[in-house]
Protein backbone atom coordinates (compact mmCIF):
# COMPACT_ATOMS: atom_id res chain seq x y z
CA UNK A 1 0.00 0.00 0.00
CA UNK A 2 1.21 3.56 -0.65
CA UNK A 3 2.94 5.38 2.19
CA UNK A 4 0.28 8.08 2.52
CA UNK A 5 -3.17 6.96 1.49
CA UNK A 6 -6.18 8.78 2.90
CA UNK A 7 -7.78 6.58 5.54
CA UNK A 8 -4.78 4.23 5.90
CA UNK A 9 -2.48 4.79 8.85
CA UNK A 10 1.10 4.57 7.50
CA UNK A 11 3.50 1.82 8.50
CA UNK A 12 5.66 3.19 11.31
CA UNK A 13 7.17 -0.02 12.71
CA UNK A 14 9.06 -2.63 10.69
CA UNK A 15 9.84 -5.22 13.35
CA UNK A 16 7.57 -7.24 15.59
CA UNK A 17 9.85 -7.14 18.66
CA UNK A 18 8.26 -10.51 19.41
CA UNK A 19 9.23 -12.60 22.39
CA UNK A 20 8.81 -16.35 22.84
CA UNK A 21 5.16 -15.94 23.84
CA UNK A 22 4.09 -13.71 20.92
CA UNK A 23 6.32 -15.01 18.12
CA UNK A 24 3.78 -17.57 16.76
CA UNK A 25 1.26 -14.73 16.23
CA UNK A 26 3.70 -12.70 14.10
CA UNK A 27 5.05 -15.69 12.19
CA UNK A 28 1.48 -16.56 11.15
CA UNK A 29 0.66 -12.90 10.42
CA UNK A 30 3.55 -12.67 7.93
CA UNK A 31 2.05 -15.76 6.26
CA UNK A 32 -1.34 -14.01 6.11
CA UNK A 33 -2.97 -16.05 8.89
CA UNK A 34 -4.63 -14.76 12.06
CA UNK A 35 -4.03 -17.15 14.97
CA UNK A 36 -4.55 -16.97 18.71
CA UNK A 37 -3.74 -19.07 21.80
CA UNK A 38 -6.72 -21.08 23.11
CA UNK A 39 -6.67 -22.40 26.67
CA UNK A 40 -6.45 -26.20 26.75
CA UNK A 41 -8.41 -26.21 30.01
CA UNK A 42 -11.52 -24.18 29.19
CA UNK A 43 -11.29 -23.12 25.53
CA UNK A 44 -10.98 -19.38 26.18
CA UNK A 45 -9.00 -17.50 23.55
CA UNK A 46 -6.46 -15.33 25.38
CA UNK A 47 -5.25 -12.48 23.21
CA UNK A 48 -2.74 -10.92 23.63
CA UNK A 49 -0.96 -14.08 24.79
CA UNK A 50 -0.50 -14.33 28.55
CA UNK A 51 1.16 -16.87 30.87
CA UNK A 52 -2.20 -17.72 32.49
CA UNK A 53 -5.77 -18.09 31.25
CA UNK A 54 -7.82 -15.30 32.83
CA UNK A 55 -10.84 -17.63 33.12
CA UNK A 56 -9.40 -20.81 34.69
CA UNK A 57 -5.74 -19.92 35.40
CA UNK A 58 -4.64 -22.73 33.06
CA UNK A 59 -1.11 -22.46 31.74
CA UNK A 60 -1.38 -24.67 28.65
CA UNK A 61 -2.43 -23.20 25.30
CA UNK A 62 -2.81 -24.37 21.71
CA UNK A 63 -2.54 -21.89 18.83
CA UNK A 64 -5.66 -22.03 16.64
CA UNK A 65 -6.54 -20.39 13.32
CA UNK A 66 -9.24 -17.73 13.47
CA UNK A 67 -11.52 -16.94 10.50
CA UNK A 68 -10.15 -13.40 10.33
CA UNK A 69 -13.56 -11.79 10.42
CA UNK A 70 -15.10 -9.81 13.24
CA UNK A 71 -17.40 -7.09 14.47
CA UNK A 72 -16.66 -3.46 15.31
CA UNK A 73 -16.81 -3.29 19.13
CA UNK A 74 -15.93 0.40 19.29
CA UNK A 75 -14.10 2.93 17.13
CA UNK A 76 -13.04 6.53 16.68
CA UNK A 77 -12.58 8.69 13.59
CA UNK A 78 -9.28 10.60 13.74
CA UNK A 79 -9.73 13.90 11.89
CA UNK A 80 -6.85 15.96 13.28
CA UNK A 81 -3.33 15.00 12.10
CA UNK A 82 -1.40 14.54 15.34
CA UNK A 83 1.83 14.52 13.31
CA UNK A 84 2.60 16.50 10.10
CA UNK A 85 3.18 13.16 8.33
CA UNK A 86 -0.47 12.30 8.85
CA UNK A 87 -1.78 15.37 6.98
CA UNK A 88 -2.74 13.30 3.91
CA UNK A 89 -4.01 10.35 5.95
CA UNK A 90 -6.82 11.93 7.98
CA UNK A 91 -9.62 11.22 8.40
CA UNK A 92 -8.94 7.59 9.32
CA UNK A 93 -10.80 5.11 11.50
CA UNK A 94 -9.21 3.27 14.42
CA UNK A 95 -11.30 0.54 15.99
CA UNK A 96 -11.46 -2.34 18.42
CA UNK A 97 -12.63 -5.52 16.70
CA UNK A 98 -14.28 -8.47 18.41
CA UNK A 99 -12.93 -11.49 16.56
CA UNK A 100 -15.09 -14.32 15.23
CA UNK A 101 -14.13 -17.74 16.57
CA UNK A 102 -13.37 -16.42 20.06
CA UNK A 103 -16.74 -17.15 21.63
CA UNK A 104 -16.97 -16.82 25.37
CA UNK A 105 -14.74 -13.97 26.44
CA UNK A 106 -14.53 -12.61 22.90
CA UNK A 107 -10.94 -11.72 22.05
CA UNK A 108 -10.46 -8.24 20.61
CA UNK A 109 -7.77 -6.55 18.56
CA UNK A 110 -7.26 -2.89 17.76
CA UNK A 111 -6.51 -1.69 14.27
CA UNK A 112 -7.08 0.72 11.42
CA UNK A 113 -10.43 0.13 9.67
CA UNK A 114 -9.90 0.71 5.94
CA UNK A 115 -11.89 0.75 2.70
CA UNK A 116 -14.68 2.76 4.26
CA UNK A 117 -16.37 6.12 4.45
CA UNK A 118 -15.34 7.15 8.00
CA UNK A 119 -18.78 8.67 8.57
CA UNK A 120 -20.50 5.38 7.65
CA UNK A 121 -18.73 3.11 10.18
CA UNK A 122 -20.97 1.89 13.01
CA UNK A 123 -20.59 -0.34 16.07
CA UNK A 124 -21.60 -3.84 15.03
CA UNK A 125 -20.37 -3.48 11.44
CA UNK A 126 -18.55 -6.47 9.94
CA UNK A 127 -14.85 -6.37 9.09
CA UNK A 128 -12.20 -8.73 7.74
CA UNK A 129 -8.54 -8.73 8.73
CA UNK A 130 -5.87 -7.70 6.20
CA UNK A 131 -2.27 -8.60 6.99
CA UNK A 132 0.44 -6.71 5.12
CA UNK A 133 3.95 -8.14 5.65
CA UNK A 134 6.50 -5.32 6.01
CA UNK A 135 9.53 -7.44 7.00
CA UNK A 136 10.49 -11.06 7.65
CA UNK A 137 8.91 -11.04 11.08
CA UNK A 138 6.29 -8.31 11.10
CA UNK A 139 3.01 -7.64 9.35
CA UNK A 140 0.71 -4.66 9.75
CA UNK A 141 -2.78 -5.64 10.78
CA UNK A 142 -5.74 -3.69 9.37
CA UNK A 143 -9.45 -4.40 9.07
CA UNK A 144 -11.31 -4.06 5.79
CA UNK A 145 -14.79 -2.63 6.33
CA UNK A 146 -17.49 -4.96 4.99
CA UNK A 147 -20.41 -2.86 6.18
ZN1 LIG B 1 -8.87 -21.50 30.66
One pLDDT digit (tens) per residue for the chain, 147 residues: 446 789 999 888 888 788 999 999 999 999 999 999 999 999 999 998 999 999 999 999 999 999 999 999 999 999 999 889 899 999 999 999 999 999 878 899 999 999 999 999 999 999 999 999 999 999 999 999 998
Provide the pLDDT for residue 21.
93
The CA 58 to ligand 1 mean position distance, Å, reads: 5
The CA 102 to ligand 1 mean position distance, Å, reads: 13
> Is this prediction's pTM over 0.75?
yes
The CA 92 to ligand 1 mean position distance, Å, reads: 36
Residue 114 near residue 143, CB atoms below 8 Å: yes
Provide the pLDDT for residue 14.
83
What's the burial of 116, exposed, middle or buried (CB within 10 Å: 0-12/13-18/19+)?
buried
SS3 content of the chain, % helix, strand, coil (to 5): 10, 35, 55
The CA 79 to ligand 1 mean position distance, Å, reads: 40
What is d(CA 36, CA 80) in angstroms, rounded to the nearest whole number? 33
The CA 46 to ligand 1 mean position distance, Å, reads: 8
Amino acid sequence: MAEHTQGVYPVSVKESFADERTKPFWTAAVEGRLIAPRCDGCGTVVLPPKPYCFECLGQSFTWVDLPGTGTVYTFTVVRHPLHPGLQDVVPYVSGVIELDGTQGAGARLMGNIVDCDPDAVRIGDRVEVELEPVSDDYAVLRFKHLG
